[in-house]
Amino acid sequence: MTIITKLILIAALILSIILPFGYFLIGERNKKRYKRTLGVNVFFFFGACVVAAIMMFSATPALASEATTPISASLTGGSSATGLGYLAAALSTGLSCVGGGIAVASAASAALGAISEDSSALGKSLIFVGLAEGVCLYGLIISFMILGKL
């Protein structure tokens, strides 16, 4: 990967953080502004994913011809299967944490409502919130299992 492509990826990632946040801070708060901010955020996220995928799958032939032994293959970074394994581990952790966050948000708000009406429901509600947090741990365990196979 050349230095120009690395700089482009770094710039895209920095802009994907700064621009939506800056756009959100400017102007009055209304529903249209939130939708535009979400749209800009999604655009830059998938743009950075496309740039990273192009860089990941465009291997130089010099590295492929040098990697004839297993030792040199491990030193040069391996194959695309290794990269896809790392991507799978990251996705399993990231998506399970997003799902766990959504589950905790709904379970915790319902638990607070139940506790405010009846304080004896605290134990039961903590169990449900804990089960929702367990989804994140399952994703982390799966990513460790994937990384163990690489």
| 52 and 79 within one domain | no
Global pTM reads: 0.52
Owning domain of residue 134? 68-150
Q: What pLDDT score was predicted for residue 142? A: 92
| 79 and 53 within one domain | no
Separation between Cα atoms, residue 137 and residue 129, nearest integer Å: 13
| 46 and 72 within one domain | no
Task: Give domain status of residue 109, yes or no.
Answer: yes
Question: Are 54 and 86 a contacting pair, CB within 8 Å?
Answer: no
| 90 and 23 within one domain | no
| Residue 28: φ, ψ to 5° | -85, 160
| 31 and 78 within one domain | no
State the first-to-last Cα distance of the chain, in angstroms, to the nearest integer.
Answer: 22
3-state DSSP call for residue 28? Answer: coil
Domain stops at, among 37, 58, 79:
58
In the chain, the number of structural domains is: 2
Q: Strands (DSSP E) along 3-123, which ranges?
A: none
Give the CATH number for residue 141. Answer: 1.20.20.10
| 144 and 95 within one domain | yes
| 48 and 84 within one domain | no
Task: Give domain status of residue 150, yes or no.
Answer: yes
For the segment 25-47, the average pLDDT, to the nearest whole number, is: 73
110-145: pLDDT as tens digits: 888 888 898 888 888 888 888 888 888 999 999 999
Task: Give domain status of residue 63, yes or no.
Answer: no
Question: Are 72 and 66 a contacting pair, CB within 8 Å?
Answer: yes
Q: What pLDDT score was predicted for residue 62? A: 46
What confidence tier does 34 reach under pLDDT thresholds 50, 70, 90?
confident
